[in-house]
Amino acid sequence: MNITLYGAASDRIDRIYIERVEELGRAIARRGHTMVFGAGSTGLMGAAARGIAAEGGNIIGIAPHFMRTLEPICDFCTELISTDTMAERKTLMEDKADAFLIVPGGIGTFDEFFQILTLRSLGRHQKPIVLYNINGFWDNIVTVIGADIVKGFIAPEVANCFCICETPESVFHAIEAPVSPNEE
Protein backbone atom coordinates (compact mmCIF):
# COMPACT_ATOMS: atom_id res chain seq x y z
CA MET A 1 0.00 0.00 0.00
CA ASN A 2 1.21 3.52 -0.80
CA ILE A 3 0.76 5.85 2.15
CA THR A 4 1.10 9.52 1.25
CA LEU A 5 2.50 11.35 4.26
CA TYR A 6 2.16 15.11 4.75
CA GLY A 7 4.08 16.83 7.53
CA ALA A 8 6.46 19.50 8.73
CA ALA A 9 9.75 20.27 7.03
CA SER A 10 10.92 22.32 10.00
CA ASP A 11 13.59 21.08 12.40
CA ARG A 12 12.73 23.84 14.90
CA ILE A 13 10.14 21.64 16.58
CA ASP A 14 10.12 19.66 19.81
CA ARG A 15 12.09 16.38 19.55
CA ILE A 16 9.05 14.36 20.68
CA TYR A 17 7.43 14.95 17.27
CA ILE A 18 10.57 13.85 15.41
CA GLU A 19 11.00 10.74 17.57
CA ARG A 20 7.34 9.69 17.26
CA VAL A 21 7.27 10.18 13.48
CA GLU A 22 10.56 8.34 13.00
CA GLU A 23 9.04 5.48 15.01
CA LEU A 24 5.96 5.65 12.77
CA GLY A 25 8.20 5.47 9.70
CA ARG A 26 9.81 2.32 11.03
CA ALA A 27 6.36 0.80 11.53
CA ILE A 28 5.30 1.75 7.98
CA ALA A 29 8.29 -0.16 6.58
CA ARG A 30 7.86 -3.15 8.90
CA ARG A 31 4.27 -3.50 7.66
CA GLY A 32 5.48 -3.53 4.05
CA HIS A 33 3.99 -0.20 3.01
CA THR A 34 5.61 2.40 0.76
CA MET A 35 5.70 6.06 1.78
CA VAL A 36 5.00 8.78 -0.76
CA PHE A 37 6.05 12.22 0.48
CA GLY A 38 7.36 15.65 -0.46
CA ALA A 39 10.99 14.47 -0.47
CA GLY A 40 12.21 16.76 2.32
CA SER A 41 15.08 15.49 4.46
CA THR A 42 14.33 17.70 7.46
CA GLY A 43 11.54 17.94 10.01
CA LEU A 44 8.91 15.25 10.18
CA MET A 45 9.23 14.38 6.50
CA GLY A 46 12.88 13.56 7.10
CA ALA A 47 12.08 11.71 10.33
CA ALA A 48 9.57 9.44 8.60
CA ALA A 49 12.00 8.79 5.74
CA ARG A 50 14.84 7.94 8.16
CA GLY A 51 12.59 5.51 10.00
CA ILE A 52 11.52 3.79 6.81
CA ALA A 53 15.08 3.64 5.45
CA ALA A 54 16.34 2.15 8.73
CA GLU A 55 13.95 -0.77 8.18
CA GLY A 56 14.76 -1.14 4.47
CA GLY A 57 11.40 0.21 3.30
CA ASN A 58 10.39 1.91 0.08
CA ILE A 59 10.23 5.70 -0.19
CA ILE A 60 8.87 7.70 -3.12
CA GLY A 61 9.83 11.37 -2.92
CA ILE A 62 8.12 13.97 -5.09
CA ALA A 63 9.47 17.52 -5.23
CA PRO A 64 9.41 20.45 -7.63
CA HIS A 65 12.79 21.42 -9.06
CA PHE A 66 12.86 24.77 -7.22
CA MET A 67 12.58 23.09 -3.79
CA ARG A 68 16.21 22.01 -4.09
CA THR A 69 17.21 25.64 -3.56
CA LEU A 70 14.91 26.08 -0.53
CA GLU A 71 15.41 22.95 1.56
CA PRO A 72 17.47 19.77 1.54
CA ILE A 73 15.98 16.94 -0.50
CA CYS A 74 16.09 13.39 0.86
CA ASP A 75 18.92 11.64 -0.98
CA PHE A 76 17.99 8.08 -0.03
CA CYS A 77 14.56 7.80 -1.64
CA THR A 78 13.90 4.56 -3.47
CA GLU A 79 12.45 6.75 -6.23
CA LEU A 80 12.69 10.53 -6.59
CA ILE A 81 10.31 12.31 -8.95
CA SER A 82 10.91 15.94 -9.96
CA THR A 83 8.01 18.17 -10.99
CA ASP A 84 7.77 21.68 -12.39
CA THR A 85 5.21 23.02 -9.90
CA MET A 86 3.79 22.45 -6.42
CA ALA A 87 0.40 21.76 -8.02
CA GLU A 88 1.91 18.95 -10.10
CA ARG A 89 3.61 17.59 -6.96
CA LYS A 90 0.33 17.58 -5.03
CA THR A 91 -1.52 15.85 -7.85
CA LEU A 92 1.10 13.09 -8.11
CA MET A 93 1.09 12.58 -4.34
CA GLU A 94 -2.72 12.31 -4.37
CA ASP A 95 -2.78 9.97 -7.36
CA LYS A 96 -0.14 7.62 -5.92
CA ALA A 97 -1.88 7.39 -2.54
CA ASP A 98 -3.90 4.47 -1.27
CA ALA A 99 -4.22 6.34 2.05
CA PHE A 100 -3.24 9.71 3.48
CA LEU A 101 -1.38 10.13 6.76
CA ILE A 102 -1.01 13.65 8.09
CA VAL A 103 1.51 14.22 10.85
CA PRO A 104 1.96 17.63 12.55
CA GLY A 105 3.00 20.45 10.26
CA GLY A 106 2.56 24.05 9.21
CA ILE A 107 0.62 25.85 6.52
CA GLY A 108 1.74 23.51 3.73
CA THR A 109 0.52 20.52 5.72
CA PHE A 110 -2.77 22.27 6.51
CA ASP A 111 -3.21 23.05 2.81
CA GLU A 112 -2.60 19.42 1.85
CA PHE A 113 -4.96 18.11 4.54
CA PHE A 114 -7.79 20.43 3.61
CA GLN A 115 -7.37 19.73 -0.10
CA ILE A 116 -7.68 15.95 0.29
CA LEU A 117 -10.47 16.39 2.86
CA THR A 118 -12.36 18.61 0.41
CA LEU A 119 -11.84 16.11 -2.42
CA ARG A 120 -13.12 13.27 -0.23
CA SER A 121 -16.15 15.29 0.87
CA LEU A 122 -16.90 15.93 -2.82
CA GLY A 123 -16.73 12.21 -3.58
CA ARG A 124 -13.53 12.45 -5.64
CA HIS A 125 -11.88 9.66 -3.60
CA GLN A 126 -12.67 7.28 -0.74
CA LYS A 127 -9.10 6.86 0.51
CA PRO A 128 -8.55 6.85 4.28
CA ILE A 129 -7.36 10.13 5.79
CA VAL A 130 -5.62 9.90 9.17
CA LEU A 131 -4.45 12.73 11.41
CA TYR A 132 -1.61 11.48 13.63
CA ASN A 133 -2.36 13.46 16.77
CA ILE A 134 0.94 13.68 18.65
CA ASN A 135 0.58 15.66 21.90
CA GLY A 136 -2.86 16.91 20.83
CA PHE A 137 -1.43 18.73 17.80
CA TRP A 138 -4.64 18.37 15.74
CA ASP A 139 -7.08 19.10 18.58
CA ASN A 140 -7.60 22.76 17.61
CA ILE A 141 -8.21 21.95 13.93
CA VAL A 142 -10.74 19.27 14.89
CA THR A 143 -12.44 21.78 17.24
CA VAL A 144 -12.70 24.34 14.42
CA ILE A 145 -14.16 21.76 12.04
CA GLY A 146 -16.68 20.69 14.70
CA ALA A 147 -17.66 24.30 15.44
CA ASP A 148 -18.12 25.02 11.73
CA ILE A 149 -20.31 21.92 11.39
CA VAL A 150 -22.52 23.24 14.20
CA LYS A 151 -22.68 26.68 12.50
CA GLY A 152 -23.64 25.09 9.18
CA PHE A 153 -20.48 26.03 7.27
CA ILE A 154 -19.31 22.42 6.94
CA ALA A 155 -21.56 19.44 6.18
CA PRO A 156 -21.87 17.04 9.14
CA GLU A 157 -20.66 14.13 6.95
CA VAL A 158 -17.19 15.72 6.77
CA ALA A 159 -16.55 14.57 10.34
CA ASN A 160 -16.68 10.99 9.00
CA CYS A 161 -14.11 11.66 6.26
CA PHE A 162 -11.04 11.43 8.51
CA CYS A 163 -9.78 9.66 11.61
CA ILE A 164 -7.76 11.01 14.50
CA CYS A 165 -5.16 8.56 15.81
CA GLU A 166 -2.64 8.81 18.63
CA THR A 167 -0.67 5.58 18.25
CA PRO A 168 0.92 3.78 15.31
CA GLU A 169 -1.39 0.81 15.99
CA SER A 170 -4.50 2.97 15.64
CA VAL A 171 -3.05 4.59 12.50
CA PHE A 172 -2.64 1.21 10.83
CA HIS A 173 -6.05 0.03 11.98
CA ALA A 174 -7.60 3.10 10.32
CA ILE A 175 -5.55 2.75 7.12
CA GLU A 176 -5.57 -1.01 6.66
CA ALA A 177 -9.17 -1.67 7.67
CA PRO A 178 -11.04 1.52 6.81
CA VAL A 179 -14.74 1.84 7.38
CA SER A 180 -16.66 1.39 4.16
CA PRO A 181 -18.65 4.41 2.94
CA ASN A 182 -21.90 2.54 3.69
CA GLU A 183 -20.93 2.23 7.36
CA GLU A 184 -20.19 5.94 7.81
User: Taking 60 as the threshold, does the pLDDT of residue 179 lie above it?
Assistant: no
pLDDT of residue 177: 82
pLDDT of residue 39: 95
User: What is this structure's pTM?
Assistant: 0.94
Residues of the chain above pLDDT 70, percent? 96
- pLDDT tens-digit series, residues 65-120: 998 888 889 999 999 999 999 999 999 999 999 999 999 999 999 999 999 999 99
pLDDT of residue 70: 84
Residue 31 to residues 12, 25, 99, 159, 166, Cα–Cα distance (Å) = 30, 10, 14, 28, 18
Work out the number of other CB atoms within 10 angstroms of the CB of residue 148.
13
β-strands 79-83, 99-102 pairing: unpaired
User: Any idea which architecture 2-183 has in CATH?
Assistant: 3-Layer(aba) Sandwich (3.40)
Q: How confident is the model at residue 184 (pLDDT cuts 50, 70, 90)?
A: very low
Q: What is the mean pLDDT of the chain?
A: 95
Over range 28-44, report the average pLDDT: 97
HEC states along the chain?
Answer: CEEEEECCCCCCCCHHHHHHHHHHHHHHHHCCCEEEECCECCHHHHHHHHHHHHCCCEEEEEEEHHHHHCCCECCCCCEEEEECCHHHHHHHHHHHCCEEEECCCCHHHHHHHHHHHHHHHCCCCCCCEEEECHHHCCHHHHHHHHHHHHCCCCCHHHHHCCEEECCHHHHHHHHHCCCCHHHC
Domain edges within the chain: 2-183
User: Taking 90 as the threshold, does the pLDDT of residue 23 lie above it?
Assistant: yes
Residues of the chain above pLDDT 90, percent? 92
Work out the number of other CB atoms within 10 angstroms of the CB of residue 20.
22
Q: How confident is the model at residue 181 (pLDDT cuts 50, 70, 90)?
A: very low
